Chains A and B, each alone.
Chain A
Amino acid sequence: MMRSLFAALILLPLMAWAAPEYGTVERDHIRAELVAETAAIEPGQSFRAGLRLEPDENWHTYWINPGDSGLPTQLDWDLPDGVVAGEIEWAWPEALQMGHLVNYGYKDEHLLPVQIDTPDTLEPGDTLTLVVDAAWLVCEEICIPGDAKLALDIDVVAGNGPRASEHADLFADTLGRVPERVEWTTRFNTDGGSLSVQVVPENVGLDRDWSFFAINENLVEHAEAPSVLAEDGQVLISQPLSAYFSRAPEQLDFVLVDHDGARAWRLSAEPGELLSAGMLAEGSTPGWALALILALAGGVLLNLMPCVFPVLSIKAMSLVSGAGHDQRAHGLAYTAGVLVSFAVLAGVLLALRAGGEAVGWGFQLQSAWFVALLVYILFALGLSLSGLFDFGTRLMGIGQGLTEKGGSKGSFFTGVLACVVASPCTAPFMGAALGAAVFMPWPLAMTVFLALGLGLALPMLVLSFSPALARRLPRPGPWMDTFKQAMAFPLYLAVVWLLWVLARQTDPTGLAMVLSGMVALAFVLWLAGRESRSESLVVARHAAVGLSLIFVVSTLFSADHFGGGEGATVENAHWENYSAETLAEWRDDPERAVLVNMTADWCITCLVNERVALNTPAVRDTMAEHDVVYLKGDWTRRDPDITEYLSKYDRNGVPLYVLYPRNGDDPRVLPQVLTPQLVIQALERS
């Protein structure tokens, strides 16, 4: 046996010189033949030829990714000038269990088809001779390498189309199982010890018998069958990484098979963060054009938000009463202000993203001082509308400066202000859509953000360019004062909402500092807005204004300084707050499994996962039933303990879900995209 193999290897180079064989050749445990789908071709016609292999019963050859052992079959063509052979078009394989290993390959008769292109210079009456050096590995328990130099003659004829060969059926059958190349939305990542792939199939029902084959070698543990889950318009695949996995590939090539429809598709996925099922279902991965339109419409809608509407409606009123000819200049300056602010914000966001920061839209709300600043701005605007002081004349010259001598500079800053006051509203209402934009290449993403800004600026821009429309607005009059004062109340509500956000980021002391800052701010504005009656009072007033302002500014930073408190305690919560000690304590209890959820308020994937999976009654019941301890770590503010925990699992961002089984076994990392069934199954096995 061994000697014959040595002999075969020594003879290998010699065999390359041997004459090619026609028809079926017999090798150890396999028969091989070069075949074509047509018996004759016309000059210039493309057709398919292929290697037909027929292993003995229970023997097999290998697919393009052979799996844990083996080698794919190779073809090396020797063709006349101008005749070109393509790559092998691999039909989807069978997963072949070999002990504790899994290979991908083909049993029984099979064909490896290849497209052959011929030149127009062929003459009818010629014979086209195809020659191929084929090398394969045929295995049962043991493996035997084989090769053959095979030839096939094809007649070149004129007219009358192709003539099917006796192998036409084999070609038709095999080509029906060759995956079609498609460009569906798909992503993959290799975080947490598993390959996770997300696919959004087009024009295919989801309730199918799916299977998944990775083409990249050395990526997944072939012996552990992939789990394929179809839900909410997408197919989710998860397969443990190979013990020999070293680094994530730049591209994942894979085959998705629908066994019910006997069809398959070949896809290439880029690495990326997986989007939550809910987000995909809401259609938030629209194409770029659709994202632009949605952003524009969203921007227009923002004008009606409680934080924006009061400011802009007053601005619109003043526009109406302003001088006609420079209205357009004001409209343009305002639009420029909005767009520049959005560009700056989006630029910072995209730069942080590119730098690997785990931030999403609304990241600016992550800093307590920024939230506090927004509180002060909205509160001051509210006080101004309530009539405590006149924003336009006294301070800053922004706001409704048009009727004064503010000029277009004033309008520009009104635009900036509109963007600033709009930002707390964009986060909750536009988060998902803008989240999708973050995954686009940055120039496209930037256009989506600018479209949002343009939408915000649009109503005012239209008003300033259309005197006819502006005339339709109610004429200014004494009612405007009442309207202004009424508009203060939505602003106060927006302030309340921001204080609630702030309360989650800081502790009671920090919150108290910001609240007293608000009182000081009101005091400053009240004092600054008063007419003075004597010289000495002017000095005292300026001193008081100055001191109070210093206090207001210092409270801004104290909000951040006092932060890092307990985090929110929610009534009726089914989780405990994470700490390393709590985790260690529960891990010591052999009766309890522990689920750790690392999350953050600004992480949209986290929130969607909680909404669609972790907080559903079914999952809560399962947790209760199985006595699972649910620990939640909040990374809304950077927390070194949680950062350290994340780094233990090679993460630099959230979400991260880790399940510790009750028997003290190694923890298991759940996928980044959760479904209720997935969580329940995992919990039941913990």
Chain B
Amino acid sequence: MSYRMMQVLAASLLLALSTALMAAPEVGQPAPDFTLTDTQGNEHSLSDFRGQTVILEWTNHDCPFVIKHYQPGNMQDQQRLARNEHDAVWLSIISSRPGTQGHVSPEEADELTASRDAYPTAVLIDESGDVGRAYDARVTPHMYIIDAEGILRYMGGIDSNPSRNPEDIPDATQYVVVALEQMAAGEEIAEAVTRPYGCSVHY
């Protein structure tokens, strides 16, 4: 084995060990707790919502994949369904570093919510990216569902069609909607981990 290969191997082992420390949260395990300030200046902790289902949506309003789901109203429909039918809490989280695409001031975020007719419980700003990293949020949109006991039940994509074409939304499986229905029916979530697709989160 050549010296170069040994280097590659050593580097990958090291990487494997180091990334094990900041690995993605696991479905079936308690979701990492966090405290963030929303656009109104109120602090929210995940633990405040014990007893309710919580949905986390990583977002970046300029990302074409986020636009794909906001422009035809798919994301807003899911927000209404989750909050009105399932008594869930919907938190939209923005982890874009200041100066990068998707980063907004609280006022701009509220303006976006109004103009897009969005319906989140709160929009949380995570400028440091700490919460995004704790959840290993990779793309926008990246979705998580946490149950009333604080256990992570779903993580992954918004739907099953990794494209930027809004016309294929009706043909896709809307994973969050399906998962919420299965949780309400007391069933196992059939697809609890799916491929998140979209734009990279700009940490």
Contact = CB atoms under 8 A, between A and B. Distances in A.
B19 interface: yes
Contacts of B164: 71, 137, 145
A661 B17 contact: yes
A137 B197 contact: no
20 contacts: A6-B71, A9-B71, A69-B200, A99-B202, A100-B203, A101-B200, A137-B64, A142-B101, A145-B64, A217-B162, A218-B194, A223-B19, A224-B16, A225-B12, A230-B5, A244-B156, A244-B196, A245-B193, A677-B1, A685-B17
Closest 5 CB pairs of A and B: A243-B24, A218-B195, A142-B101, A227-B12, A69-B200
Interface of A: 1-2, 5-6, 9, 12-13, 68-69, 71, 98-101, 103, 135, 137, 139, 141-145, 207, 209, 217-218, 221, 223-231, 238, 240, 243-246, 661, 665-666, 668, 675, 677-678, 681-682, 685
Contacts of B201: 99
B184 interface: no
Given A69-B199, A243-B24, 4 more contacts: A224-B15, A668-B16, A681-B10, A685-B17
Nearest to A68: B138
A221 B19 contact: yes
B10 A685 contact: yes
A189 to B, nearest CB: 17
A179 B17 CA distance: 32
B45 interface: no
Interface size class of B (residues with CB under 8 A): 35 or more
A682 B203 contact: no
Contact of A685 (B13, B24, B63): B13
B4 to A, nearest CB: 7
Contacts of A101: 138, 200
User: Which of A69, A144, A218, A666 is packed against the most chain B CB atoms within 10 Å?
Assistant: A69
Contact of B21 (A103, A229, A665): A665
User: Which of A207, A243, A666, A681 is packed against the most chain B CB atoms within 10 Å?
Assistant: A243
Nearest to A686: B17
Contact of B5 (A98, A141, A229): A229
A485 B141 CA distance: 83
B191 interface: yes
A100 B195 CA distance: 17
Contacts, number: 126
Nearest to A219: B195
B166 interface: yes
A71 B163 contact: yes
A681 B64 contact: no
B6 interface: yes
Given A69-B197, A665-B21, A224 B62 contact: no
B62 A5 contact: yes
A207 B11 CA distance: 19
A98 B9 CA distance: 22
Contacts of B193: 243-246
B6 A681 contact: yes
Nearest to A100: B203
Nearest to B155: A244
A326 to B, nearest CB: 63
Contacts of B197: 69, 71
A665 B16 CA distance: 12
B61 interface: yes
A551 B103 CA distance: 85
Contact of B64 (A5, A678, A682): A5
Contact of B162 (A2, A71, A666): A71
B2 to A, nearest CB: 6
Contacts of B64: 5, 137, 143-145
A63 to B, nearest CB: 14
Contacts of A682: 13
B190 to A, nearest CB: 10
B127 interface: no
